[in-house]
Copies of this chain bind each other. A is one copy, B any other.
Amino acid sequence: MSTPGFDELKQRLAAFAAERDWDQFHSPKNLAMALAAEAGELLEHFQWLTEAQSTALTDAVRDEVALELADILLYLVRISDKLGVDLVAAAHRKIGLNELKYPADLARGSARKYDQL
């Protein structure tokens, strides 16, 4: 793919904020709010759809949803950068914790399946 990868996002966002003098607004508290607000915009796309409809979006709607998901990722990368968190390493660590918490043979068909990814 011709687009740059995940690792380029952090630096590109840092430059974007620096060039606009927006770092002053990017406290972790404020970025957490902005991320949650974007998650709310994601909900708006799905709130009146059935689950089945949500699996069969038109190309136009899927494109809008893709940009909402992008907004969430951008704030996620930005807040991680501001906090000094290695986001991808934390994600792999969390999957590992979930694998221990929900053993495949026990979790299958268990109510505990409702708890997590």
Q: Which residues of A pack against B, CB within 8 Å? A: 1, 3-9, 12-13, 16-17, 19-22, 25, 27-30, 32-55, 57, 62, 65-67, 69-80, 82-95, 97-99, 102, 104, 107-109, 113-114, 117
CB distance from A100 to the nearest CB of B (A): 12
Greatest chain B CB density within 10 A among A33, A46, A108 is at A33
Asked if residues A20 and B108 are in contact (CB atoms below 8 Å), the reply is yes
The 19 listed contacts between A and B (C-beta, < 8 Å) are A5-B6, A6-B6, A8-B92, A9-B88, A12-B92, A20-B107, A21-B109, A25-B114, A32-B43, A33-B36, A33-B46, A34-B43, A36-B43, A39-B40, A55-B82, A67-B94, A69-B85, A74-B94, A74-B95
**Majority secondary structure of chain A interface residues (helix, strand, loop or mixed):** helix
Asked if residues A95 and B28 are in contact (CB atoms below 8 Å), the reply is no
Q: Given A67-B94, A85-B65, are A29 and B1 neighbors across the interface (CB < 8 Å)?
A: no
- A83 to B38, alpha carbons, bound, how many Å? 18
- A84 to B1, alpha carbons, bound, how many Å? 15
Which residues on B sit within 8 Å (CB–CB) of A83?
A: 57, 62, 65-66, 69
